[in-house]
Amino acid sequence: MSKETLQDYLSYLTRYLKRKARGFNGFILGLSGGLDSAVVALLAQKAIKDDLLCVIIDIDSTKRDMDDALELCRVHRLNYYHIDLTAEYNAIVKKLDQSKKLTDLSKINTKVRLRMLTLYALGQTLGKLVLGTDNKAELYTGYFTKHGDGAADLFVLSSLTKAEVFAAARLLGVTPNIINKVPSAGLYVGQTDEAEMGITYKHLDAFIRGEEVPANVRARALELHKISEHKRRPIPRPREKR
């Protein structure tokens, strides 16, 4: 942060979330076992306490991610559901493959969209708003799934770089297993954010802050931003009928 300290900004986010929860039965959040969702969960808990519901959705997820999510819930006494949708996901893919063989990427994005479908179904039933977990770096580069984790009622971390999310995690008491893990969406074995983006968070954060970075880093960041522009724009509409 430039003018206000990170701690001050986190205090503002807590107040912001408390205000946004008015008129609803709190928030619902997908807890993946990763850093961003953990930080959002603890901020929301500070704002609305037991009116936060975390949903741990297992779709062929790694045991480590599920264990880390459950540990965070136990340590911080977060309310949670644990749902295994692996069989349902496999059934959807099998059915769709009968018509047209799905690409590997479309299968991965189907996982993410199934998780969001689940959050909105439960959120509507319980009268809760869905919290998004994408940070400033992910939103800039489009490193999110359209109508998947890119769908939410509120983006809590939209002004924080990845480095600031790590710092926030330490301030909030996120469990060490999550803080020390290599950032990954956990959608397939060996996946890492930085390998998929082709740029490190350190370089990306520096670029977003307006600092000097190597030419290839700048070019890659701008490329990612350009090709993902459609994800950030409202759904196009034709002009009004005359």
Q: What is the mean pLDDT of residues 92-103?
A: 94
pLDDT tens-digit readout, 113-165 = 999 999 999 999 999 999 999 999 999 999 999 999 999 999 999 999 999 99
Owner of token pair 């959040």: 29
Residue 239 in this model has a pLDDT that exceeds 60: yes
Active site residue 194: no
In a domain, 34, yes or no: yes
| Catalytic residue selected from 36, 68, 134, 193 | 36
The catalytic position among 134, 138, 149, 193 is 138
Tell me, yes or no, whether 204 lies in a domain: no
Q: How confident is the model at residue 190 (pLDDT cuts 50, 70, 90)?
A: confident
Give the integer Cα–Cα distance in Å for 25 and 50: 10
What pLDDT does 1 receive?
Answer: 44
80-84 and 129-132 beta bridge pairing: unpaired
pLDDT for residue 187: 75
Confidence of residue 41 (pLDDT cuts 50, 70, 90): very high
- Say yes or no to pLDDT of 189 above 80: no
Within a domain: 100? yes
Judge whether 168 lies within some domain: yes
Residue 36: active-site member = yes
Q: Are 148 and 224 in contact (CB under 8 A)?
A: no
Number of domains in the chain: 1
Q: What is the CATH number of the domain that holds 169?
A: 3.40.50.620
Domain assignment present for residue 157? The answer is yes
The percentage of residues in the chain with a pLDDT greater than 90, rounded to a whole number, is: 91
**What's the distance, CA 117 to chain centroid?**
14
With respect to residue 18, please indicate whether it lies within any of the assigned structural domains: yes
List all residues 6 or more positions away from 219 whose beta carbon is below 8 Å from its beta carbon: none
Q: Residue 24: inside a domain, yes or no?
A: yes
User: What confidence score (pLDDT) does residue 139 get?
Assistant: 97
Mean per-residue pLDDT of the chain: 95
Q: Which segment of 1-5, 101-105, 108-112, 130-134 scores lowest on mean pLDDT? A: 1-5
In a domain, 47, yes or no: yes
pLDDT over 70 for what percent of the chain? 99
Mean pLDDT of 54-67: 96
DSSP notation for 12-71: HHHHHHHHHTTTTT-EEEE--SSHHHHHHHHHHHHHHGGGEEEEEEESS--HHHHHHHHH
Domain limits at 83? 6-137+146-194
The verdict on pTM exceeding 0.85 is: yes
